Each structure stands twice: as C-alpha cells, then as structure tokens.
Structure 1
C-alpha cells in the first residue's frame, strides 16, 4: 500500500502516560500477589499462652529485632488453626511463621514464657534474630532527593512551555524559534498568486534564480546578494512575497518574527540569533526571513529607556555581527520586512547586510485590477461586476483592503439572500469598510439633521466648484458606524501636490464650517476634525514644504525620526511665532474664500442641502444637474491604463457629538 494512501492511516502517537499506567498496573498486581501469599496472622500473648503453649503446638519462637515474636507451629498441629488462617486476608506459608505478636520488653517476655512453661515436658527457648528492611531504608534515604528532582523537572517543563523554551524545555530557551520549510515541508504559494508588485517581484525572483542557477551570474563575476529588505505600508503584500519566495526557491527557508528573538531572560535574543545562523550555515544555501524586523532593528541610542541595558540592542549587535561580521556567511540570504524603515539602525541598512531595499508600495489602478482578479476567483459574480470599475472605486487600497472588500461583498450578498455577488454589493462593501455599517434607526432631531445636511452640502459645493478639490462621489446623512453623516470624494491619483491644490483642498474642508455660519449664523462642533486636518496641513505647508514667503524655502522635517526624542524645536522662538502667524493667515484666507464661494452660489447650495434632506443620499450626478459639469474634468481625466498614485478615497463624516471626521491618506509632496 502506498505511503500516502488514506486507507492506511497512521497509528496513534506514542504517549509516555501509557508507560506510567502500565507500571502502576504491574505494581498493583505484584502487591496483590504478595499480599495473598505468606504472612503470619496477628495474635496476642494470651492466645499463645492459653492455647498454643497449653496444647504443646509450638515448635519454636523467634524474636525479631527485640520487638516481635514469630510463632512456628508443629506440622501436625496446623489443622487446628485452619479456621483462623481462613479468616485472615493473607494465609501464612506452611513452613511458617504462622503467628506473630508484639512482645513489649525482652525481659518481661522471657519471664512470662518461663512462667507459662512451668511443669511442661518440653521447654521452648526463644531464638533472637536481627532483620533489616533494606528497601525501606533506601527509600527513606534516596526518596526525598528523587521527589525533589522530579518536582524540579516538572516545574521547569511547565515554565518552558510558557516562556518559549520549545521542545527541549527551559534548557533550550536560547535556541532559535524559526520554522523551517524545506523539501519535506514545502510552501504552496508561488509568484503567480502575487498580483501586482511587478518591480518587487522582479527583485526577489532574481534572488531565487541566483539560488537555482548560480552559474548564470558567477560566470560574469557577480556575487549572490546577502540580503533584501522589503519596505512598504501595511497590507501591501510583503509577507505574501516572502511566502512566494519560500514556495519558489528549492532551498531551506527559515521563517520567524522579529519579536521571537526577544524574551524575558537576558541574553536569550543574542543566543537565538547565533543558533539561527548556525542552523542556516549547516543547511546553506538557504534563506532566512525575519518579519517585522523593526522589533529588534530599532536604531541604537535612540530608545526612550535611557540608561537601561536594552536587550533589543544586544540582539541587534549580534544580528549585525552574524549578517556581515568577521566570519562570513556564504550561501545564507537574509530576507526581512518592515513598514517602519525610518527607525531602523543605519548599520543594519548598509550594503553588505541588506544589499537591496525593495519598496512595496500601494498598488496603482492597473495593479488593483490584477489583485481583484485574484480575490474574485472564488466568488460567484453577477454579470454587472467589472474589474476595471472596482479598481477605479478603490484608489489607495492595499492588497489586504481589496481582499477585505471582496469578502465583505460576498457577506453582504449572502445577507440579502442573493444567488451572486452584484456590483452594488461591492459598492456597499467599500462604504462599509470606510464608514462603517449603516444605522437607519438612530434617533436624530430635525435641527441636527438640517445642520448636518447643510454642512455636508457645503463641503460638496466647494469641492465641485474648485478646480483642484477632490470631486464628490456620494453624500449621505444616514448614520454609519459612529458617524451621523458621511461624504465620499474620489481624489485625483497623483504623486506630487502643488500649493494651489493644497489650498483648494483646505478651502473645501472649511466648507462645512462656512456653510453653518452663512446659513444659521452660528457654528457647531461639527468642524473639529476639519480644523484639525487643515491646521496640520497648514503647518506642513509652512514648516515642511517651504510654501510660505515669509518663512522661506526651509524645511524643519526630519526624515530620520530623531526628532521623536528631541527636547527642543529645530528653530527659534521668533521663527515659531512667524510660523504661527503664517498658518493663521493661510487658514483665515481659505475660510473667507469658502464663505464667499458659498454666498455666490447660495441658491445651488440650498437646493443641494434640501435634496439631501429629502433623499438622504445624493451622488455626483445630482451636483452636475445643479451646478453643471466641471469644465476642468476633461483636461485632468486620468486614463485607466497609466493612472498612478497612492491617494485613498476621502470620507467626511459627522460624528455623534457633531464632530466631523475625515478618513484620507496624506498627500505625498516631493520636489
């Protein structure tokens, strides 16, 4: 029968508790057998004197250890005592001793025996014998030490299970915790299952090709890369790419997380690093994958725990030495992933340790379509579902976000008892992920509902009328999640942002507050998040992007992350006052601009708000009917084949406290 035949299942695994049980059964059986064999019957001196000595049935008396007297009967007298033997649990042996009793002191026993035998024809003299219980003495001597050792091993075994000691117990706590994937335990993921990430795949595919066919590169003098660092936002597929490498490469693959090196015991991290590379050298050529390497790779000397002996720093020092120290690691490739590359130590990032830094960015329009094709395979789709449409509706979504959209769409379709997942289910799934689940039964007063409607209509009006503001996709005043209202905008996919674009977005964000003041003559707390967003944006324009004439072309941004632990600002108090003045000036100008735009288009704004109050949900087509088509849309239209950018759909929501929240990706500004 074949090895993998299902008709020949593997037997149960060996369990040490079966051995313990077998020993216990044998011990009980032996004890029962011994207890039912020879053993004298307990009696007393009165019985011996009045019956056994009087009838001359005793052959001899043996005093053992001056404590007990064993009575040996004559063979022709045994039948007289058969009834007493049968009543006792253990029947004595035929050769004796047959009875036993405690004598007290030897002198008293001898005197009583002498008195009892006065006038007897045959006088029986007691014999004296010394016996030692060797087994009992050994148990009393060695037993406590054995018990202590057993308890010690049991306690440390329990500790090792909780402290990551592994199969070897507490003594193997310094051993590597890496999972090894080789020919016996192969990963099924391949590069075909990794959609998008064309440039990143090309980099890692070359490493796999180097391991499979090194002669292609070495004949030209090339050397195998020592390491590759995957850098990118969460959910972009860094770990998936590493799994594909494990599935494609025909070499052993060691996989572990950066946090696996850190333990409660001092020195364990460095010990595990040494053991990991020792195993890797024995199986070279091979690949080591360390996920979330920032857990141990944080820059040294910048830890907030000042003055402490940081275990992570010791682990990092050992990792640096093993990766490229005095002793070289030929044939061992290090693959690591992180979304916080800015905090990694410079010595870890240098060439020779990580020769390649592979940036895994958020997918663009084309890549999102490829990712959708992968995750749509197991779904039963309706005819109206188009991959290109879904890709356009999810700008800035990562691969994990797209997988979540597909799963949520299937759940929504099942909730509605549909036979296939429709286009509307996907749109609802996108709304569900960004804004939360709709709560149509939430109680909202008419006054609050009117305020929310005019507030959202103010955002929508200004965003539609400004050239660089994000165009509206949908506005709703139906509560969703913790929000009382929400508006979705579809950002233009771009890589850089100009000052004019930032100002238009700032003006659009202030449209809600401006609408409340224009219509009701008062303001509410609904614009709190709007103000927070535009304040950060204004400070970034002045102090980071050099977009202020008075402050000038300077930037106080520190890309190294060292400012997180700095106690002083990198500019003087006078400069700080100037920055504050410029920020306030920018915000005030855009607020006045927003109020002016809304006043000039007051009729359209009110019509939009009333339509929102009537239907609760309006779309971009409704704004086009009220304000007309945006004249610059044709000029800025991005073709689906070459659309690029990392902007996520913006959502503006009115919270339960009247505070407005916006969920959007920060724009990337570069010179």
Structure 2
C-alpha cells in the first residue's frame, strides 16, 4: 500500500487575485483621495460657508492650511437647503457629520473669522488640524510602490517557472531535474516491466553497481559512467528508467533533453553544470535524461541553417561533465532516445555512454508477459487467453498493447458488459490498426462492387501464393481512411528471401489486378498498395542488394548523414537502371497477379458476391470457394495484421 502524503499542499496565490487587490487599492486611493466619506459631505464655496456661519447653522469646523470640514447643527438639518446632506449613505439622519467641505485661501484669516464667530456664539467649536506631509507623500509615491510591487511579483513568477526554484530572477540557470529519493514513493519497479529481459538485466546491474560497488571494484572493475537506451517509440525505455528510480536506493534525477533548451544564451550549459553539481553532492546518484537527442545531436552537420551555438554549447558542457577533468565516478547517467543515428559521436563513445542497450519491439513471448501486466486492473472474462492475444498483435510495442487493453475495456463498457472478453480485444485491435468503422459513409452500389472486387483480389492472390501471408478476414466496411481492408497472418521472420518479398508484392497488387480483370479499368483505390510495393521494390534494389543488374551494392546509410548531403551516392546512369528495375519488379508482379486472377475469375466473382452480401468474410468462406490452401496447414495461432 502506498504511503499517504500527510504534508499539507503548498498554498498558491492566484495572480488574478493579486491584480484585483492592486486595482482595488488604486481605486480606493483615487476615491478617498478626492474627499470621499461615508457621511457624504458636499463641497461648498467659502462665501456660502460664511452665510451658514452668520445664520448660526454651523456647529463645528475642522480646518488645515487648505481645507475646512463643516459640521451643521441638528436644527439646521431641517432646513430644505440642506436636503442633500441631511441623510448619510445608508439613508439615516446624518447628525454627526461632516456635512460640507470648502477650500480656504488664507488659514490665518479663516481662523480669525472663526474666533470672532465663536465670541458671538455663532459656532460651538472649531479646531485646527496639525500640519502633516504624509498625505501628500503617500499620494505621490503610492502608485510607484504598487507598480514596483507588481513588477517584483511578475519577475518572481517568471524566474520560478523558468529556473525551477528559488523564486529569483537569477535562478533561471538552475537545473529543472526532478529528484526521486527515499522521500518520494515511486511505485514502478522491475516487476512492472514485462519482457525486455536483456535490457532489464543490464539496467539491474547498474543499480547493483551503486548499491554494492565493492563487489565490482574489489577485483579491479570500474563502474560504468553511463548507459544509453535505444529503441523504437513505445518499447519501454522511459518505463525502465522509472523502474530504476523505484528500485535504486540512491538519489535519482530525472529530466528531459528539452529542459536544457532555453531562449537565453548560456542557460543550457548552466543547467548542465548545476545538474551534475547537485548529483555529485548527493553521490552516489543516477541522472536520467529522456529524449537526449534534443540536446545531443551531432555538431555541425546541418549545412542548410548553420550550427546552433547555444545547443552546441550545452552539448559541449554535457560532454565535459560526463568525462572530463574533475568528473566523479559515483554519478551514472542514463539516457533514452529513438534517434541514436543523429547523436554526436563524442557522446556515444566509451567513457561517456559505456553501454548501449537496444530495447527492441517485443516478440510473441514478451507480448504475452506485457498483456498479463496490463490486464491486471481489467475485469476480464475467465476464458480469455493471453497467448491468443499475443499472437494477434505482431509488431505491437508495449505502449500499443497498453492501448489495446484500454480500448478493449472501453468497447466492453460501451456495450454494457460486466467483463472484457475475446471479441472486445479483437475489435480493439481492428480499431487501432484499421481505424474507426464508418458504417454511415455513403457508398454507391457501383463503388461498393469495385471495393469488393478489389479486396477479393487481394484475398484470392494471397491464397494462391506459397509465401504470401494467408488471409484471416476481409471487410468492405469503411474503416479510417480506407474503404476496405484485409487482415492476414504473417510469419514473424528474422530474415526475408527474395521469393517471399515477390509473393507479398504480388498479393498487394492483387487488388488493382482484380479491377483490371473484371472491369478492364483501374481506379485510385490502390494508392496505399502502390506505395507499399514501391517501397518494397526500392528496398530490394537499393538497400538489400537483391537485384542482379545493380549487384551486391547497398545505398543505405545507417549513420543518417546522407540526409544532409546534396549529392546522391550513385551516378545518373545508375539512377536510370534503379528506376527501370523498380518498375520492372512491380510490373512483373502485377502481370503475375492478373494471370492468377484470370485463371480463377469465376472464384473471384463468387468471393466478391459473398463479400457484397455479408460485408465481412472470414477464412472459412475462402475455403468453401477455393478449398484447402495448397501450401500446408494454416497455423490457427499465427498473429494477424492488416494490409489495405
């Protein structure tokens, strides 16, 4: 059970509240500064005041050098001339006052007049207020004080957001890394990481280095300085790092490569220095930099826009901190990226990242383990077989499998089910791979027949070819951006031979070939098919060296530097040969598909008719028309994928 956090949440002041208080203070100052009072005193002229004074209506006067405040007698308030000041702002009789105020020119002469009126009994009392300059000082400096306070508040917020702590403007160069230690409860452990056995073993060894370094240093070994996690997106690189943070009993600093990047010059290098300074103070420690390619790209490669000095300075500082004078061996750096080809060679060398751990897409056994992890919180039916689910998801990453489980639960909830069953998972796979069904999409009968012929062509050709993946299901219900789709059962091969690639190309061209055979016309519906076979043919000729005329030559550059080059790695004559061979490969398979479909035209039409009637057909419908597949028994447990 996770520990409860008994600490009170930090109180945060809304900036809008501060703005409101400042605005209110300015309004109050402007109102009170203009002589406002709850008793609603009114301005009068000095001659009018003397008229009230001579008629024995004034009870009291308070005055200073420039202003006099007048209080009337209660009897005088009954006079209609004082109707405006008779009541206060609450509507009650304003006996206490003040009632009027007036500007005076000469305070000495005004005081002499009041003294004479007092001797005559025309006024009860008068008082001269002591001279004070605070009112004038406050009226002059208060707006500047409020503006300065607002500026300081804004600067503290900006520096706090950019610098990560301290609340000062100069903290912008501080590291934004989040620290995980014994005070932070990280729930992810190695038990939550399914599959990835090789990567887990190496990562666990790094944790062991820091827990028990004497075990390795006692025989002369050195603790590795860094490990780089490389692999496709969604394979679990960040999850492995979270597991390290949960397992390690040492401080763990986590941040992203983009956290070093800032609009101010020199901030990135300053943050790198501060990060390693904090790590060394808490050593032994682990630093994890996610998406390190944001700051670790190769220097000076991009000839188009020139080098980015700020990013390169940040990278140089990172290189120095990882392996330079004064570095500490008790700090291990973990990093993750799916673009290892663009990283700087100096960053990749031994002594900085001693180990490169490749986190590949999971195989069928690892997918089963991943399913078991993600199915724990889901209410699933008892007959659900995780091995079957693993076989239905070839090429899926860990993130994809998590998405399948969540999508299956949503589909089951949408159908008001109490548990998730096998069909919900199959629907989830279809939803993720093919897209959402669009049953209300308007398709004319002519278009529907053309789509059915196209998909039946894929199914027929793939059924007749030995190395083509056998079919599982065909649908003409629009799904995502496709008008129809076919699901196949490909083998998970480690190597692919030319005859296998040619059969796959022929099956892919079966859709357009069927349109040609039946209608003697072709349409734009084969765009995705053409894109796929063109990539396959180009790979055969230029990458894998499977073409006789080009020979055993590859133009593939695994370092990724060719994208920055203006010139092609082959001559114009070779380019013509490549284009000719690619076109010949595709056309030969297209003609091969046409011949296969002509030989089985009646079966093709029968399959299309069934497809129009049912909209979705399965392997059993093909066996009813074509008979058993002539190339051995189909393994029912083979995984499935989709080819449009």
Q: How does 1:609-628 map to 2 (within 5 A)?
A: 609-628=608-627
Residue matched to 1:651: 642
RMSD (Å), alpha carbons: 4.2
Deviates more, 1:205-214 or 1:135-144: 135-144
Q: Find the structure with the greater CA-based Rg.
A: 1
Q: How does 1:47-446 map to 2 (within 5 A)?
A: 89=96, 104-105=105-106, 132-136=131-135, 138-139=137-138, 143=142, 145-160=144-159, 163=162, 166=165, 168-303=167-302, 306-307=305-306, 309-446=308-445
**What's the CA shift for 1:140?**
5.8
Residue matched to 1:504: 503
- In structure 2, distance between residues paired with 1:616 and 1:359: 43
Query: Normalization by structure 1: what TM-score?
Result: 0.79
Q: Which runs of 5+ in 2 are unaligned?
A: 39-43, 78-92, 121-127
Is the Cα contact below 8 Å between 2:164 and 2:171 reproduced in 1? yes
- In structure 1, distance between residues paired with 2:62 and 2:481: 95
Check if 1:594 corresponds to 2:593: yes
Query: Normalization by structure 2: what TM-score?
Result: 0.82
Residue matched to 1:656: none
Deviates more, 1:328-337 or 1:440-449: 440-449
Aligned residues: 604
SS in 1 for 2:295: helix
Residue matched to 2:572: 573
Residue matched to 1:461: 460
Cα deviation 1:361-418 (Å, max 9, x = unaligned): 1110111111111112222222331111111111111111111112222222222223
Is the Cα contact below 8 Å between 1:212 and 1:250 reproduced in 2? yes
Distance 1:308 1:141, change over 3 A: farther
Is the Cα contact below 8 Å between 1:396 and 1:649 reproduced in 2? no
- In structure 1, distance between residues paired with 2:514 and 2:4: 73
- In structure 1, distance between residues paired with 2:521 and 2:94: 106
Distance 1:15 1:245, change over 3 A: closer
- In structure 2, distance between residues paired with 1:384 and 1:281: 53
Residue matched to 1:39: none
Q: Which runs of 5+ in 1 are unaligned?
A: 37-41, 72-79, 92-98, 122-128, 654-671
**What's the CA shift for 1:108?**
6.9
Deviates more, 1:625-634 or 1:212-221: 625-634
Cα deviation 1:464-490 (Å, max 9, x = unaligned): 221221121111112223322110112
- In structure 1, distance between residues paired with 2:544 and 2:97: 100
Residue matched to 1:662: none
Distance 1:47 1:212, change over 3 A: same
SS in 2 for 1:579: helix
Q: How does 1:497-536 map to 2 (within 5 A)?
A: 497-536=496-535
- In structure 2, distance between residues paired with 1:385 and 1:427: 11
**What's the CA shift for 1:48?**
7.2
Cα deviation 1:555-609 (Å, max 9, x = unaligned): 1111111222222211111111111111111112111111112222333323322
**What's the CA shift for 1:652?**
2.8
**What's the CA shift for 1:255?**
0.9
**What's the CA shift for 1:338?**
1.0
Distance 1:143 1:308, change over 3 A: farther
SS in 2 for 1:483: coil
**What's the CA shift for 1:630?**
3.5
Residue matched to 2:88: none
**What's the CA shift for 1:5?**
8.9
**What's the CA shift for 1:139?**
3.4
SS in 1 for 2:361: coil
SS in 1 for 2:483: strand
Is the Cα contact below 8 Å between 1:477 and 1:612 reproduced in 2? yes
Is the Cα contact below 8 Å between 1:64 and 1:70 reproduced in 2? no
- In structure 1, distance between residues paired with 2:69 and 2:380: 95
Deviates more, 1:151-160 or 1:394-403: 151-160
Distance 1:492 1:14, change over 3 A: closer
**What's the CA shift for 1:436?**
1.8
- In structure 2, distance between residues paired with 1:230 and 1:299: 18
- In structure 2, distance between residues paired with 1:70 and 1:432: 82
Distance 1:138 1:397, change over 3 A: same
- In structure 1, distance between residues paired with 2:435 and 2:67: 89
**What's the CA shift for 1:137?**
5.6
**What's the CA shift for 1:248?**
0.4
- In structure 2, distance between residues paired with 1:501 and 1:629: 21
SS in 1 for 2:335: strand
- In structure 2, distance between residues paired with 1:46 and 1:313: 85
- In structure 2, distance between residues paired with 1:504 and 1:329: 57
Distance 1:328 1:81, change over 3 A: same
- In structure 1, distance between residues paired with 2:541 and 2:194: 39
Is the Cα contact below 8 Å between 2:225 and 2:332 reproduced in 1? yes
Residue matched to 1:447: 446
Distance 1:101 1:300, change over 3 A: closer
- In structure 1, distance between residues paired with 2:383 and 2:113: 115
**What's the CA shift for 1:84?**
9.3
**What's the CA shift for 1:295?**
1.2
Is the Cα contact below 8 Å between 1:518 and 1:599 reproduced in 2? yes
Is the Cα contact below 8 Å between 2:299 and 2:307 reproduced in 1? no
SS in 1 for 2:598: helix
Distance 1:417 1:100, change over 3 A: closer
**What's the CA shift for 1:148?**
4.0
- In structure 2, distance between residues paired with 1:189 and 1:63: 76
**What's the CA shift for 1:142?**
5.2
Cα deviation 1:216-240 (Å, max 9, x = unaligned): 1111111111111111111111111
Is the Cα contact below 8 Å between 1:165 and 1:171 reproduced in 2? no
